[in-house]
């Protein structure tokens, strides 16, 4: 299918789109803030693929290459929307050095609905959100994440550490707010 699409076969392009569009959309939806942005990005990515398909190395997995193209497009989109901040030196004094307990984060994610996790991800800084999606959704290696984010490979671990802390905190705050809300509304009724 990919070889036929590279040669310009329109039916192969249709097959390629039908086969991968949903996965690309889900990827974009996790990275970009709105459904509309994700829909636009999906269409733009497939338009880019026509030009870039000649660069694909058939010796490597197609999905990894597709996610790299998608990640680059989404990151460019985020950069165009807002001036990119250099986080390499910002708040380094307050960065916790310990790794958040992975089982704690996994438990928090398992206890939340997909919508709650998506809302928590949306609250993260753009670079942190992108790093988490690239690592845990697209299963990219640190070197590929570094290339997509435009940072040094050695900095990817710091970005991911920070991102996991932010996500854990956002999920904990969302859980605490959900627990407090019913209590507050009950107390409010009794006090009236």
**pLDDT tens, the chain, 192 aa long:** 888 888 888 888 889 889 999 999 998 888 887 888 889 999 999 988 888 888 888 888 888 888 888 988 888 887 776 533 344 434 444 444 344 444 556 666 666 666 777 788 888 888 888 888 888 777 788 888 888 887 888 888 888 888 888 888 888 887 766 654 444 444 444 443
Phi, psi of 63 (to 5 degrees): -65, -35
Which domains, ranges and CATH numbers included, belong to the chain? 2-81 (1.10.1740.10), 102-184 (1.10.10.10)
**Alpha carbon distance 122, 168 (integer Å):** 13
């Amino acid at each position: 299918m990919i070889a036929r699409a590279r040669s310009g076969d329109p039916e192969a392009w249709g097959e390629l789109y039908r086969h991968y569009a949903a996965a690309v959309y889900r990827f974009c939806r996790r990275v970009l803030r709105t459904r509309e942005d994700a829909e636009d990005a999906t269409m733009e990515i497939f338009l880019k693929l026509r030009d870039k398909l000649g660069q694909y190395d058939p010796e490597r997995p197609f999905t990894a290459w597709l996610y790299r193209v998608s990640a680059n497009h989404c990151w460019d989109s985020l950069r165009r929307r807002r001036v990119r901040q250099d986080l390499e030196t910002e708040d380094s004094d307050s960065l916790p050095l310990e790794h958040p307990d992975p089982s704690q984060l996994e438990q928090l994610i398992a206890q939340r609905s997909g919508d709650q996790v998506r809302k928590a991800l949306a609250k993260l800084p753009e670079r942190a959100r992108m790093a988490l999606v690239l690592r845990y959704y697209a299963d990219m290696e640190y070197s590929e994440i570094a290339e997509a984010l435009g940072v040094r490979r050695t900095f990817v671990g710091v970005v991911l550490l920070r991102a996991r802390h932010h996500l854990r905190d956002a999920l904990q705050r969302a859980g605490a707010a959900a627990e407090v809300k019913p209590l507050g509304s009950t107390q409010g009724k009794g006090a009236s």
